[in-house]
Structure 1
Amino acid sequence: LILLWKHHGGIQPIPPIAPLDRDKYTKQFKHNPTEEMQEFQENLEGETEGESVNGPNEMTFTLKRSGKTIRRLSAAPPINFRSWRLPGHGGNENEKAQLTFYNPTKLSKQRLWGETLYIARPLIHLFGMYVCGTMSWKPWIMSGTIDIASLCMMGDTKDMNPEEKREIKRRSLLLLYYLLRSPFFDSYSKMKILSTLRVLADNVPGLGILLRPIIDYLPSWQKVYFYLWSA
């Protein structure tokens, strides 16, 4: 809430600290080469000096019969810098997009309150379970209502950056988790899901090996994994 209201952090992604994208940082090292990479570039320039080259194909050659393009051995960078793509090929625009840092979208009052509701939702749900009991419908209804209200208050996502759009899409898809949360799961979803899986396991060859363990473990998984707010 401090990041949202005081520092204008915008829509808060989950997890707040994204996993390390090794491909992204490998590409950054290529743009800011270390001593090892600089030494490789110097050796490469020395080996290719005087060769007849054609633009981006200077570090590749094409097989005559198959027409397949292959990287020259002298053009292979150190293993910790390799992207396993041909030089000069394959998505420079995508690489630039991955290296772009997006500033948080400035949220209106409505969106600020919608994001505040989303952040406070776990505490409201836990308080409802404490007051009404773990198997009461009231916490389930309150939590679902807050999720839907928060998404509605966010409105159209056209003015959001790509990361925020992905986060809103993720939140929308996670509404399906309410079908697997108690008491809805115990009262409605459990028997229908398990009976459907049993029919598929008994009648479709090969699926039984995959589905029977799921049938056995689904009730246990439901008690743990579908209550993680960071899921």
Structure 2
Amino acid sequence: MASSKDVKKTLVQWCEDYKRWIAKNPNLVSDIESTVKYVSFFTAGRLNSSTLASEFVYSLPNLMVLFNDQIIRASRYSELKLPSLQSKLKIWLTVIDYTEALFEVSAKKLWGEAGRWFIISLIQLLKVVMRLILVFRYKERITQTPAVPPLNREKLNNNNDGMQASKDAFSLKRSGKVIRTVRSSASQTRTWAPPASTSTVESEELENNVTIESLKKSLLIAETIHILKPLVHLGCLSLSGPKNWNPWLLSFLIDLTSLKLFSKETSLTGEEREEICRRRIGLLLYILRSPFYDNCSRMRIYHMLEFVSRSIPLAKLIAEPIARYLPHWQNTYFYMWSS
């Protein structure tokens, strides 16, 4: 019994040491994460015969980044916390985004096509419900993908001086007004000018967590139809079949309608504009989605890759693997519900 307690105590100590090391060495952690990502990209192609292993290797570095980011956020910005349910929803949404292909491939291997489509439908239903809760309960105007974006470690380090300034001042959560602490008032170098903002990163965190009371109806409609698009596409797909153009066209029209409504809004924040830009770029993926890919773009893409491989020195090293693995990628990733 004593040995099991010792093992548990040792594991807890290792976890605490790991958290402290992550918090103190964000640059080194970023380098390790980048190395793991590059290895996963290389290995995914080599393990094409084992799709399940490829998906696991691809998901692992993303989950590692999410886990380490949460440790860094907790250690440096412990005073900036979302409501517990909202925070958990965002974390679980991000985990699902990183692992949904892994679950899909696992279901297909275990239960065949029927199991695969059941898991796809279940995952998309969960994502839709969680995103609608974020919009209607927590008044988020635009839900990000991933819901918890990777922490900008470089900006974090550039704002270390701002962290020191935060010891002499703090920001009110509602108004964002910067207040000087009593301790700082005794300083000989005291000035009567208002203190500077604690840090750019903290300001961004506060801006993201502000509940916007006046949620415009047009924004609500635009985000709601974007969130519901996966279920609409899956429903249409089940009725008309994968080779029919109706699901493809319906999803494309939903995306265009949502983006059109967002384009009329002028009060978007920087992060909201970045997400809208990402969705606009995502429209290009429609050329890789069936049935457009099967009927229109597939041969053109292969001809382009072949031309690049012949015409540009060393391009063959990149173009040929892309051409070889494109059928697998197209069949695994380029769905209407993945954007």
TM bracket, shorter-chain basis: 0.5 to 0.7
- Give 1:161's aligned residue: 269
- Following the alignment from structure 2 to structure 1, what is the Cα–Cα distance between the partners of residues 328 and 300? 17
Q: C-alpha distance in 2, partners of 1:18/1:204?
A: 36
* Distance (whole Å) between structure 2 residues aligned to residue 128 and residue 217 of structure 1: 28
CA shift at 1:31, angstroms?
Answer: 4.2
Q: Please, what TM-score do these two structures have when normalized by structure 1? A: 0.66
Q: How far does the alpha carbon of each residue in 1:60-112 deviate from its partner, in whole angstroms, 9 at most, with x for none?
A: xxxxxxxxxxxxxxxxxxxxxxxxxxxxxxxx99x944432323654311111
The answer to whether structure 1 residue 99 and structure 2 residue 198 are counterparts is no
Equivalent in 197, 201, 222 of residue 305 of structure 2: 197
State percent identity of aligned pairs.
35
2:81 alignment partner in structure 1 = none
Structure 2: gaps (5+ residues): 1-131, 165-195
Contact 2:233 2:337 (C-alpha < 8 Å) held by counterparts: no
- Paired with 1:163 and 1:181, the residues of 2 have a C-alpha distance of 27
User: For the Cα contact (< 8 Å) 1:114–1:150, is it kept in 2?
Assistant: yes
| TM, length-normalised to structure 2 | 0.46
Q: Which amino acid aligns with 1:183?
A: P
Aligned equivalents of 1:111, 1:157: Cα separation in 2: 8
1:6 corresponding residue in structure 2? 137
In the alignment, what sits opposite 1:148?
256
Give 3-state SS (helix, strand or coil) of 2:222's partner.
Answer: helix
Give the number of the structure whose alpha-carbon radius of gyration is greater: 1
* Aligned residues of 2:138 and 2:211 also touching (Cα < 8 A): no
Aligned pairs for 1:50-129 (under 5 A) are 96-101=199-204, 102=207, 103=210, 106-129=214-237
Query: Which residue of structure 2 aligns with residue 87 of structure 1?
Result: none
Higher RCO, Cα 8 Å, sep 6+: 1
Letter in 2 for 1:99: E
**Letter of the 1:133 counterpart:** G
RMSD over equivalenced CA pairs, Å: 2.5
Residue in 2 aligned with 1:171? 279
2:318 maps to 210
Indicate the residue corresponding to 2:240 in structure 1.
Answer: 132
Alignment counterpart, residue 149 of structure 2, candidates 1, 18, 22: 18
Q: 1:24 to 1:99 in 2, by over 3 A?
A: farther
Contact 1:14 1:230 in 2 (8 A): no
CA distance in 2, matches of 1:13, 1:198: 36
SS in 2 for 1:100: helix
List structure 1 segments (4+ residues) > 6 angstroms apart after TM superposition.
Answer: none
Distance (Å, rounded) in 2 between the aligned partners of 1:128 and 1:228: 11
Aligned length: 172
Deviation at 1:206, TM superposition (A): 1.9
Q: Report which of the two has the higher share of helix.
A: 2
Segments of structure 1 that go 5 or more residues without pairing to the other structure are 34-91
Distance 1:223 1:32, change over 3 A: same
CA separation of 1:111/1:159 partners in 2, compared to 1, >3 Å: closer, same or farther?
A: same
